[in-house]
Copies of this chain bind each other. A is one copy, B any other.
Amino acid sequence: METQDPFLTTAQPGQMLARGVCRHLRSHDYVCVEELVPTRGLRVDVMALGPKGEVWIVECKSSRADFTSDSKWQGYLEWCDRYFFAVDQDFPTELLPPETGLIIADSYGAEIIRFPDEDKLPAARRKVMHMKFARTSAQRLQAYRDPGVAGLFAD
């Protein structure tokens, strides 16, 4: 018998993929933050930070329409060393640009199918991404540990 997983009753399809992606990337020693904003107007589904400061971005596409309606993804390339799409196993992967990475995911895990070439971030931008990652994750962690802080500061 499966135990109930409250996440699955409320999450959007893209968030389910993101959860599996984040779980899997831990096995590569990458830690993740979801819905990170590198700069105004951009919001990446998953930013993963590697043990040597590597920056990966993973966009989670739950359907063909979700991908074809996305006019922003190329704007993410300049914010990471490697860029991946994560999709479920029924997604028509031939739609995806072959130069991007490919991850097949579900709510529980994922697998990296295709590794993209590295396009190294300039040092200054890497620093920006590290700081965004650190500050976003710490602020959210504090909101979980100390719900009382939420009323004191608006993000």
Interface residues of A (CB under 8 A from B): 5, 7, 19, 22-23, 26-27, 31-34, 49, 53, 108, 127, 130-131, 133-135, 137-142, 144-146, 148-149, 152-153
Contact = CB atoms under 8 A, between A and B. Distances in A.
Contacts of A148: 5, 23, 108
23 contacts: A5-B148, A19-B145, A19-B146, A22-B142, A22-B149, A23-B148, A27-B152, A31-B135, A31-B139, A32-B138, A33-B138, A33-B141, A34-B145, A49-B131, A49-B134, A49-B138, A133-B138, A134-B134, A134-B137, A137-B138, A137-B141, A144-B144, A144-B145
Q: Which 8 A-B pairs have the closest CB atoms?
A: A31-B138, A134-B134, A137-B137, A137-B138, A144-B144, A141-B141, A137-B141, A31-B135
Contacts of A108: 148
A49 B130 contact: no
Oligomeric state, in copies: 2
**Majority SS of interface residues in chain A?**
helix
Nearest to A5: B148
A7 B152 contact: no
A149 B145 CA distance: 18
A134 B127 CA distance: 12
Contacts of A140: 141
A111 to B, nearest CB: 14
